[in-house]
Amino acid sequence: MSDTQTFFESHFPGRRSALKREVLQTALSLFNEQGIEATTIDQIKTRCETSVGAIYHHFGNKEGLVAALFFVSQDAMMQLTLTYLEKASTVQGKITAVVQGYIDWVTEHPELARFQFQARTNVAKSGHSDALAAKSKARNRALLDSLTPAERNELLKIYPPDLILSLIIGPAESYCRAWLAGRVKKSPAHYRELLAQAVWKSLS
């Protein structure tokens, strides 16, 4: 079983969700092969050997399918980060948790991460933009909520809350994009400690 098949099995378990998993898996492959705009529901239907009506029953339309795939990936990434944050006890440890949670997600789920990078703009321009904004705010809040009041005040003296996560994730995201695009060869995992240290030095 492939990495993405295992992922969809864990998030949509059981026989009743079999078609939903297959559609998501197929859509992910096609989106990454030829791009979101070029992929049609008919292509997904044909590869899944199902009907357009069955796909629409689960996702509403192509926009809904893109959003569903994006959000289940984003939520799983967030859950991994929260798991790391729960184990951290210092400000440096918490910032490291966010950086390394991001890197570990991308290296463990490269196909989903590749899709996330290309899908964000589509989701932001769709009818799901409010949900995207809410989830982004929740992601920002997760880090701030993990800090003590004193730690939070210290960070916010220097950086606006909306900027903090971008400063933390930025270097890792840039390298991960280059890796997924084949512009660099070494896995982000090779630099996970170095990237976390660099972010901490820049913030502290």
Q: What percent of the chain has pLDDT over 70?
A: 99
> For 145-196, how does the pLDDT look when each residue is reduced to its tens digit (9 = 90+)?
888 898 888 888 888 888 888 999 999 999 999 999 999 999 999 999 999 9
Least confident among 25-29, 95-99, 143-147, 174-178: 143-147
Q: How far is CA 72 from CA 79, 111, 197, in A?
A: 11, 13, 29
Q: Where are the domains of the chain?
A: 3-203
CA 75 to chain centre: 7
- Quote the pLDDT of residue 46: 95
- Quote the pLDDT of residue 73: 95
Q: Is the pLDDT of residue 127 over 70?
A: yes
Helix-strand-coil percent breakdown of the chain, rounded to 5?
A: 80, 0, 20
> Residue for token digits 């509403």?
60
Please classify residue 116 by burial: count the beta carbons closer than 10 Å to its beta carbon, then call 0-12 exposed, 13-18 middle and 19+ buried. Answer: buried
CATH of 3-203, one of 3.40.50.1360, 1.10.10.10, 3.30.420.40, 1.10.357.10: 1.10.357.10
How far apart CA 132 and CA 116 sit, in angstroms, is: 12
CB 163 within 8 A of CB 203: no
> For 38-86, how does the pLDDT look when each residue is reduced to its tens digit (9 = 90+)?
999 999 999 999 999 999 999 999 999 999 999 999 999 999 999 999 9
